Amino acid sequence: MAGRVHNIALVAHDNKKAELLEWASFNKGSLAPHHLYATGTTGTMLEFELGLKVHRFMSGPVGGDQQIGAKIAEGKIDMLFFFWDPLEPQPHDPDVKALLRISTVWNTPMACNVATADFLISSPLFTEGYQRVIPDHGPRDWEEMRTEDEA
């Protein structure tokens, strides 16, 4: 599966936008062949700075984080670079936690800082193809899961 084109989401909180832009500029050649997605302002900045097409969702606080989370749940986003700010309170903190959670639930490769982003994008799996295991969270029959003692 060499040369697979990924669907990559890029998200950054205000205090981390410059850091993400610097990282993305350095890795422009690696990002260029892929489909890029981002929340509002981050997407605008990335498109302007990198000269690459970026599909922009809404701004994070007004639903963009949830839009990206939905795409992850649908299997339409392959990996997430989310430079979030752990030292600054966010008005949409529940959405931030939901995005981190849904990425983990669906076993989506995710980097939350430059070091992890560097490891992810420089991994041979990034270019050679990687089949992530997608957990089966399909319909659950809670009645069948109950033990005899609970019935």
Which of 65, 78, 118, 149 is catalytic? The answer is 65
Residue 38: C-alpha distances to residues 7, 16, 41, 132, 148 (Å) = 11, 14, 8, 22, 48
**Strands annotated E in 1-151:** 7-12, 35-38, 54-56, 79-83, 110-111
What's the farthest any 2 CA atoms get from each other in the chain? 62
Question: How crowded is the C-beta side of 30, counted as CA atoms within 13 Å?
Answer: 18
Q: Is 65 a catalytic residue?
A: yes
Residues with catalytic annotation? 65
